[in-house]
């Protein structure tokens, strides 16, 4: 019997790489992204290369009630894997950044991720199987001056995922939070004004490798996954240095990587 994976932000970056991995394993796909043109290209490419069916939905996942709208359009289609990948960042001092854009980010990262997870969970539990992969970040482990809300929402996703994963023990359903460090995707271009020669790039990961690491962790039922030894070290730093010092370090890195 064929299985289905739903991936938000599936038209590019980590979402696209995860879609390829799922298609390779025979999953039919439901891809949701704001970029309708890119979605169509991805659908054609995947269906050409793999013997799977790909449904695409061009949706703005930051709008109210979008999760119910998606599930209604799927008409009860069982979801075996949910990947909450869609997201974006916003750089700048909190008092200067655009509230409307921040509100969209909060809704996308917090409300949509939470609600989609809730909407698929009951059916997964009834079937005794299912996997959820939530895209958190290395940002989840410390405060992030100049990207304060982005860091805060990724911290929410990690905490939420860990808590629900614990509740689900023994059900056959797992939740994994993938916490990558800086990864070469369109996210970096959208959030940054800095020229490439000014950036700190030694720890920049490849999207394909990060996706493979997260996919493997999800299939093993791990609660969270941090790709890269250096990133694992960075995630532990707030345990050993004052949080204010950690925040100052993050701020300096952001100033180097984001400001023009």
Number of residues written out for the chain = 260
Show Cβ contacts of residue 141 under 8 Å, excluding neighbours closer than 6 positions. Answer: 155, 158, 179, 234, 235, 236, 237, 238
pTM: 0.90
Least confident of 42-46, 112-116, 226-230: 226-230
Convert 127-154 to b/e letters by CB count within 10 Å (16 or more is b): eeebbbbbbbbbbbbbbbbbbbbbbbbb
For residue 176, the SS3 value is strand
- In whole angstroms, what is the distance from residue 141 CA to residue 83 CA? 21
Question: Catalytic residue positions?
Answer: 150
Per-residue pLDDT, averaged over 151-156, amounts to 97
For residue 6, the SS3 value is strand
- In whole angstroms, what is the distance from residue 219 CA to residue 133 CA? 10
**Cβ atoms 232, 226 nearer than 8 A:** yes
**Residue 258: is its pLDDT beyond 80?**
no
Domain limits, the chain: 4-258
Per-residue pLDDT, averaged over 83-102, amounts to 96
- Share above pLDDT 70 across residues of the chain, in percent, rounded to a whole number: 92
Least confident of 26-35, 46-55, 193-202, 241-250: 193-202
Identify the pLDDT of residue 200. Answer: 47
Identify the pLDDT of residue 188. Answer: 47
Q: In angstroms, what CA-CA distances link 255 with 146, 191, 199?
A: 8, 12, 9
Alpha helices in 201-242 (DSSP H): 207-220, 229-240
**222-236: per-residue pLDDT in tens?**
999 999 998 998 888
Domain 4-258 has CATH 3.40.50.720: yes
């Amino acid at each position: 019997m064929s299985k289905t994976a739903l991936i938000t932000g599936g038209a590019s970056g980590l979402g696209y790489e995860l879609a390829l991995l799922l298609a390779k394993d025979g999953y039919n796909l439901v891809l949701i992204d704001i970029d309708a043109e890119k979605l169509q290209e991805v659908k054609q490419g995947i269906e050409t290369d793999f013997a799977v069916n790909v449904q695409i939905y061009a949706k703005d996942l930051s709008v109210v009630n979008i999760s119910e709208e998606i599930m209604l359009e799927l008409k009860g289609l069982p979801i075996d894997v949910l990947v909450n990948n869609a997201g974006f960042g916003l750089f700048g001092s909190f008092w200067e950044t655009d509230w409307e854009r921040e509100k969209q980010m909060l809704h996308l990262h917090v409300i949509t991720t939470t609600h989609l997870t809730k909407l698929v969970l009951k059916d997964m539990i009834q079937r005794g199987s299912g996997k959820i992969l939530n895209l958190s970040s290395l940002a989840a482990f410390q405060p992030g001056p100049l990207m304060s809300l982005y860091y805060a929402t990724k911290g929410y996703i990690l905490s939420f995922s860990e808590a629900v994963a614990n509740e689900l023990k023994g059900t056959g359903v797992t939740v994994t939070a993938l916490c990558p460090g800086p990864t070469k995707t369109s996210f970096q271009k959208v959030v940054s004004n800095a020229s490439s020669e000014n950036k700190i790039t030694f720890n920049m990961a490849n999207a394909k490798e990060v996706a493979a690491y997260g996919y493997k962790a999800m299939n093993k039922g791990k609660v969270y996954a941090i790709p890269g030894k250096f990133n694992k070290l960075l995630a532990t730093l707030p345990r050993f240095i004052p949080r204010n010092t950690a925040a100052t370090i993050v701020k300096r890195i952001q100033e180097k990587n984001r400001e023009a």
